Structure 1
Amino acid sequence: MDSKIHAFLILAHNNPAHVARLVKSLVSPNHYFFVHIDKKSKEDFSNLESIPNCTLIKKRISCNWGGFSLVKATLNLLKEADAFKHFAYFHLLSGADYFCSTNEKFDDFFNNTTKSYLDIADGTPFEWRLKIYTFNDIINRRGKWKNILWHTDDIQKKLLPYITIRKPLKEKFYYGSQWFSLSQEAVHYLLDFCKTHRSFVRRFYLTFVPDESFFHMILMNSPLASQIMPHNLRFIDWTRKVPKEPLPRTLKIEDYDDIIQSKCFFCRKISVTQSAELLDKLDELRKG
């Protein structure tokens, strides 16, 4: 049986050498790569152009953390990949991810499934995100005005028990990590839904971190919900090992055994410097 054809969609903004290493770790005749470079980035990603089946998409978005711009960039990747070829699966990655398996295991797994893989967590504590206005694509939430934005959120949240700030959506709220491995059927449903439900799409423009609910709500409120497995096959560690450690944790060599035992296909977050030994050991795994 021929292996299914896969599209790997990568959201990147820095570290072109690492992004090239990520792509090269996955190179196979049935693997194609589509890379979105943040429009703000000044770094040179031309090194990717020499890698087989790798495309730098031309329709670039200036991406801001927590903004709808990340959803738009992801949709652009999905549209360009879908127009390029009939892919069986679409895998969304970041430039801070790495492949932690082998192509043989990866292809074997997806040759024997038709499900989609999307992280679905308990979204109850985060429903406020759809009920207030946020402005992350207008003001950089990680810049000098970040405190004003957080205070604006807090004031709106305190008002929610008393007033309706935004008109509620009829769809049930779902939430989870933005990274996914979706079947062709799921991707076609997403793209068609976005074409025919423009008001739903617009509703997320001023929503807090919409990339963690937009795709989830469309698919989990659809006829395809039973085809969604609530795990995205990514190893991501949200448990601090030292006080005030940024989350998700930056993975290091001491995380290797946990990564392998998880049987996930990708891991994040990766740092070129702090994760250097880990990356080398994962490469040795593939060579072995």
Structure 2
Amino acid sequence: MSARFAVLVLAHHQPRVLGALLESLDHPSIDVYVHVDAKSDLAPFLAAAPERDGLTYLRERRTVSWGGLSIVEATLDLIAAARDSGHRHVRFTLLSGSDLLIAPLDDVLAAWSTDTEFLRVDHRLTGPGALRGHVVARRHFADRSGPGWARLSGRLPRRVDDTIPLVQGSMWWSLTSTAIEEVTGFLAAHPRWLRFHRQTLAADEVVFTSILAASPLADRIAQHVDRERDLPSYLARPVHGMHHIDWSDRTAINPRTFTLDDEGDLRRSPAMFARKVDESAWPLIEAFRAGRAVTP
């Protein structure tokens, strides 16, 4: 039996862009599971990319907030759906509904068949060399709505859970089934640790990275700040796991949205996916769907 791969997609808008991504991943070895934010109407997504063999939408959906633990919880729901499907997946890959496949699918399948954990660790949040400690040392209320919670967020100190050292990196990863077992096993054994991260800023960038960086699989992590001598150069690299992401504006809340002008850079990138695109970049999406360059 050939290997099967689970793709987990978090989406909240732009059904047409999601539809193009899912079309590019239509392959007998790939099973896709999609969580659409409960704040969004599911019908336009089903219209843009109807369910089929290998494509499942979660019907029990969460309201997801930027920077909140709700993103982690929705991701864990996707993992559970894939594991409950009856298929034995050798790899799980987390994508956004605003992603674009920029590599040949055969190359992606080959990379997925390795034992590399495509994960990027950027900062230590606790212990020697720690940076950005406020992410975990203060209480943040991203999953709470209202001006009062917004004013309190980031102002109240707290004692940091020291069960394992905490690190931060990109939330977009591609992990072997062994790594997924490591994560889910740790969370089952340490429920209070996950509850602690209810008030962590951008918990999605901390939970998976911290567990795996502290695990026996740490040497398999593709990108880790501890192996880098030139920190500014490392942080400036646009490859995050399997994603090409432009964080050149270090003050921005979101990465830059790619346009057709970026086609050349994306085709030269060693990454497999680009984040992010929107409908204004439809010529770029079409260029990669066609499989041939549009711009010089």
Q: Is the CA contact 1:3–1:107 (under 8 Å) kept in the aligned structure 2?
A: no
Question: Equivalent of 2:182, from 182, 185, 189?
Answer: 189
Shift of 1:109: 2.5
Task: Give the aligned residue type for 2:97.
Answer: G
Q: State whether structure 2 residue 128 is matched by structure 1 residue 135.
A: no
Question: Are the counterparts in 2 of residues 68 and 209 from structure 1 also a CA contact under 8 Å?
Answer: yes
**Corresponding residue for 2:245?**
236
Partner of 2:265 in structure 1? 258
Q: Does 1:172 align with 2:165?
A: yes
**What amino acid is the match of 2:139?**
Y
Distance in structure 1 (CA, Å) of the matches to 2:154 and 2:73: 26
Alignment CA distance shift 1:268-1:100 (3 Å): same
Shift of 1:82: 1.5
Amino acid of the structure 1 residue aligned with 2:9: I
**TM-score in terms of structure 1 length:** 0.86
Distance 1:246 1:195 in 2: 32
Matches within 5 A, 1:1-288: 4-44=3-43, 45-47=45-47, 48-84=49-85, 85-111=87-113, 113-123=114-124, 124-139=130-145, 145=147, 151-153=151-153, 155-156=155-156, 165-230=158-223, 231-240=240-249, 247-273=254-280, 275-285=281-291
SS in 2 for 1:122: strand
More strand by share: 2
**Matched residue SS, 2:169:** coil
Residues 215/154 of structure 1: CA separation in 2 closer, same or farther (3 Å cut): closer
User: Aligned equivalents of 1:153 and 1:64: distance in 2?
Assistant: 14
Where do 5+ consecutive residues of structure 2 fail to align? Answer: 125-129, 224-239
Deviation at 1:246, TM superposition (A): 6.5
**Rounded Cα–Cα distance in structure 2 between residues aligned with 1:171 and 1:286:** 47
Q: Which amino acid aligns with 2:89?
A: F
Matched residues, number: 270
- For 2:76 and 2:253, how far apart are their aligned partners in 1? 28
Which consecutive aligned stretches of 4+ in structure 1 deviate over 4 angstroms post-superposition? 148-151
How much does 1:51 deviate?
Answer: 3.8
- What is the aligned-residue identity percentage? 28
CA RMSD of aligned residues (A): 2.3
2: CA distance between counterparts of 1:214 and 1:88? 21
Residue 152 of structure 1: how far off its partner (Å): 3.1
1:207 to partner: Cα distance: 1.3
SS of residue paired to 1:32: strand
Moved more, 13-22 or 102-111: 102-111
Check the 8 A contact 2:10/2:96 in 1, yes or no: yes
Q: Report if aligned partners of 1:14, 1:43 keep a CA contact under 8 Å in 2.
A: no
TM-score (norm. length: structure 2): 0.84
